[in-house]
Each structure stands twice: as structure tokens, then as C-alpha cells.
Amino acid sequence: MNITNESLLDGLDSQLFAQVHSGDPEMKIDQDARLRHANFPGAEGSLFLGDVTDALLRCFGAHEPPRVTELPGFDQQRWVLVVSDPEVSITIESRSYWGMGLLSTCFLNGIKIVGPLKRRARIVFDLAAALGRNPWEAKWKNRFAKSTGVASTEEKEKWEALIEYGREDLSNTIDSIRTKAESLEQDLPSLADDAPDGWDGDLALEEIGAAYAECEVAKDALHDRSATGVERALARAEAHIIEADPRTEVAAQFEGGDVLEEMASIEADDLDLTDQVLEFEELPKEAIRTQSALSEDEIPFIDLAEEE
């Protein structure tokens, strides 16, 4: 499958449909039609969010409380809500497609994501990983396709195209970090001449080796569809590369040692704070306030008898 096909990866938005397996959790709706947790004070209305939307909101990242644009009626699993940030907007519709909505599995979620393709693909990649199943696989395939107007094979291709795009983007990031480590390893002999005092080439090679190891950890996390694991491993790899590079400020200022160790090695006796502390043997008179500071003669007398 060619994931660059414009019919699968639209440049403006992605319209997807997902099978709901569970109606939980129950959420509250406040007076401003904002979605809140079940224990939110003052919120009276409620709806059942469902496992797909619950996972989607967690994958979306930091955002304001979603807005419920179509409030549920008698059926609390039938609603429309919108969640957004400055870059991406997602509209989610929950509706039944068979069985008159008597079961949670009678429902599907229509998901419209508007925003940059890279971000859309990352959200879909994280969503599929969080659910641990294929969201496009319907409980009742024919009814699902009839309700959505999309053939099951086409729906599967749209999901897989975005998931694969997100996976390749993370894979390219891993390769980029590895290439950065390889480039630094090749440049170390020439950089050693201008390295700061205390920089150790052998320790730098060890740091680069640790960066390679973290790239392998990132690959394993990618295989498990854990985008968060990939990002954490790559962050550690970047830190090792910075420690190894003699051109960075960390190496130049702290001679290759650990910053916390350098700070901890400072003895208290080595710190002279005499010029930084102001000492007063006694407070100035104008700063002293006591009960006797105000004479009774100075207290104004107001007679309110006539007011009554």
C-alpha cells in the first residue's frame, strides 16, 4: 500500500469511524456544556463517553475541557463533542448503528480530525496502540458499512495509512538521532584538539555507545506501538550525545562531570555570604508598632445616637 496516496492521507482532515466496545466511563456536563469528570461539583447532566473517545482524549494531549455540541437525550451514549488546541480540532459523534442502541457495542464513533497530517497520524497511531485492537473492525460489518457509507476495506485502509505514517515518522526520528550520534563519533578525533580541559575522549565514546543503546530501546518501543516509550528513549539518547560533544556548554563548564555532582561537591565553608545578609541589632523605631503606640486621645469619637 502506498501511504502517500492523497485519497488516503488528505492534506486537510481525516474522517474515520471506530467500533465502540464499552460505554464507560460516565462523564458530567457542566452549565457551559463542557465535559467534566464524574465528581465535578455543580455539573448535573451526564453522558457515557465510551472506550474509543476516552482513549482518544488521553492521546490528544493537553487541551481545554471538550465542548458537548449536541447534548444527549434519553440515550446518554448519543452525543457530539469537540476537543481542540491551537493546532488540531477533533469532532466526535457517538451514535448507534444496530440493535437500537441497547448495548454499548451497538455504537460507533465518527471521528473527524482537522490539522497537520503529521499530528493527525500521531494521534491515530497512539489511539490504536491505546485501544490494543483494530478500531475499524465492526461488531456487525454490513450494518457498520451501511451506516458510515464507507466499505469495510476502505475504512481499514484509511486507518492503516495514518497508523503507518505515524510509525514511519517515529522511525525516521530514531534514524535521525542515530545518524547524529554516528556523525559525532566520526568527528571526535578532530574535536579533541579544541576540547575544554577535563574532557575525556573515552568517556565521550561511552556516552555515544549509550545513545546507540537508547536508539535500540526506542526501536523496541516502536515495535510495541508505544510512542511515549520512543520519545523517552530518544530524549535520553539526546542527553548522552550532548554529554559526549565537547562543543556543548555542559562539557565546557563542568569538565565532562555530572552537574549535580559538581554542585554537591561545593563545601558550605567555601561560600561567603557576609556581603549578602543584612543584619540589624534592633529594629528602627518607626518600624515598632505596639498597643500603646496609639494614644486614647487620638481615637476619634463618633456619636451615632442621632442617626437612630
pLDDT in tens, the chain (308 residues): 444 455 577 678 999 999 999 999 999 999 999 999 888 888 888 999 999 999 999 999 888 899 999 999 888 999 999 999 999 999 999 999 998 888 999 999 999 999 999 999 999 999 999 999 999 999 999 999 999 999 999 999 999 999 999 999 999 999 999 999 999 999 998 888 878 888 888 999 999 999 999 999 999 999 999 999 999 999 999 999 999 999 885 544 444 445 445 545 555 555 555 555 455 455 555 555 555 555 555 556 565 555 54
304 assigned to some structural domain: no
Task: Note the pTM of the prediction, 2 decimals.
Answer: 0.75
146 and 51 share one domain: yes
Total domains, the chain? 2
118 assigned to some structural domain: yes
22 and 129 share one domain: yes
Sign of CA pseudo-dihedral 197, 198, 202, 207: negative
Given 226, 248, 264, the domain boundary residue is 264
185 assigned to some structural domain: yes
141 assigned to some structural domain: yes
281 assigned to some structural domain: no
70 and 191 share one domain: no
292 assigned to some structural domain: no
141 and 84 share one domain: yes
Domain that holds residue 220: 165-264
